[in-house]
Chains A and B, each alone.
Chain A
Amino acid sequence: MTHLPYIAASYGLVLGSVLILSLQAVLRLRSARRRLAMLETTRQRRTAS
């Protein structure tokens, strides 16, 4: 393959940044869900008591 370093760098950069963005989105979504669930259970416990 000609120009291999340039091709590898392009694909590496793009796929790397896609991976970072996806990972960040997944983690953010998960922590938001967990936090909301925690808050809702504490509220229910308080209204029940």
Chain B
Amino acid sequence: MSGDIFLTALPNSAAGSFLHRFANPGRFLRLSRWLLPLLTVVALVALAVGIVWGLWFAPADWQQGDSVRIMYIHVPMAILASSGYLALAVCGVLSLVWRHPLADLAAVEIGPVGAVVTAMCLATGSLWGKPMWGTWWVWDARLTSVLVLFFLYLGHIALIHAFDEPQRGYRAAAVLAIAGAVDLPIIKYSVNWWNTLHQPDSISLTSAPTMSTSMLAPLFICMIGFSAGFGALVVARVDAAILEGRARQLMTRRLPDQERAA
């Protein structure tokens, strides 16, 4: 079953050859040589500006008081938790359909970062909920569906490392990532479809934000900063994974050499 994986990986269609151009690990390393510093600098600058702005210069809310400042980290964490899982699902499709080797590496490295981000989304939400709602946790549709997302991340991490033969782990985790993606629209629309304790989104594409511009600006900068940081972390981890893979290859190639020399 797994014997012909490397044969089927040969690019044949136009889409395949386009995708496989980016599947080349050497090309990715060359890309990350300028992408990684760029993302890191953007993340550091935007986070410094956004967090200082959010904590000291943005106004307090008329009824939440200063606890509104938790939003500047909670909302980026929530958006990244969902988009991180979307990235896992895209990697899953690339892996299952095009046998894209870099997609498998990316899926291994996105998983843990996404899980941490989702945990932070839940934790900051809880820390806001206690003083505002009067409870750490409720089982409403929004909170529960995000908790499900957290467990999907954990399942993905466990599954991708579960097999001795890595290819089988990649395949199984890709199926989980794609199947789990049904949770994403549920998270997004839970606050509109059912009545929940969690408030509906303040920012939407169709109408004006129900948020003062003085709060929207630092939130926007924090979102840029955390997204760039997420990207930088993933790129750095994929870089490391490629280099580790090469080292492993060199080691296994060296063994027959040593045997021949002996």
| A residues in contact with B244, CB < 8 Å | 32, 35
In the complex with contacts A3-B67, A21-B113, A39-B247, A10-B127 CB distance below 8 A: yes
Q: Is B120 an interface residue (CB 8 A)?
A: yes
Of B69, B127, B236, B257, which is within 8 A of A26 by CB?
A: B236
B240–A28 CB distance below 8 A: yes
Closest chain A residue to B241, Cβ basis: A32
B66–A4 CB distance below 8 A: yes
Q: Which parts of A1-19 form the interface with B (CB within 8 Å)? A: 1-4, 6-7, 9-11, 13-15, 17-18
Determine the distance from Cα of A3 to Cα of B129 in the docked complex, in whole angstroms: 11
A25–B127 CB distance below 8 A: no
| A residues in contact with B70, CB < 8 Å | 6-7, 10
Q: Is B169 an interface residue (CB 8 A)?
A: no
Determine the distance from Cα of A28 to Cα of B242 in the docked complex, in whole angstroms: 11
What's the minimum C-beta distance from A43 to chain B, rounded to whole angstroms? 6
Determine the distance from Cα of A1 to Cα of B61 in the docked complex, in whole angstroms: 12
| A residues in contact with B243, CB < 8 Å | 29, 32-33, 35-36
B-side binding surface: helix, strand, loop or mixed? helix
Determine the distance from Cα of A18 to Cα of B119 in the docked complex, in whole angstroms: 12
What's the minimum C-beta distance from B54 to chain A, rounded to whole angstroms? 9
A2–B60 CB distance below 8 A: yes
Q: Which parts of B109-128 form the interface with A (CB within 8 Å)? A: 113, 116, 119-120, 123-124, 127-128
User: Which B residues lie at the A interface, using CB under 8 A?
Assistant: 51, 55, 60, 65-67, 69-70, 73-74, 77, 113, 116, 119-120, 123-124, 127-128, 130-131, 229, 233, 236-237, 239-240, 243-244, 246-247, 250-251, 254, 257
Subset of 12 A-B contacts with CB under 8 Å: A9-B127, A13-B120, A13-B127, A14-B73, A17-B119, A25-B236, A35-B244, A36-B247, A36-B250, A39-B247, A39-B251, A42-B254
Lowest 10 A-B CB distances belong to which pairs? A2-B65, A32-B243, A3-B67, A25-B236, A10-B124, A28-B240, A39-B250, A1-B66, A29-B240, A2-B66
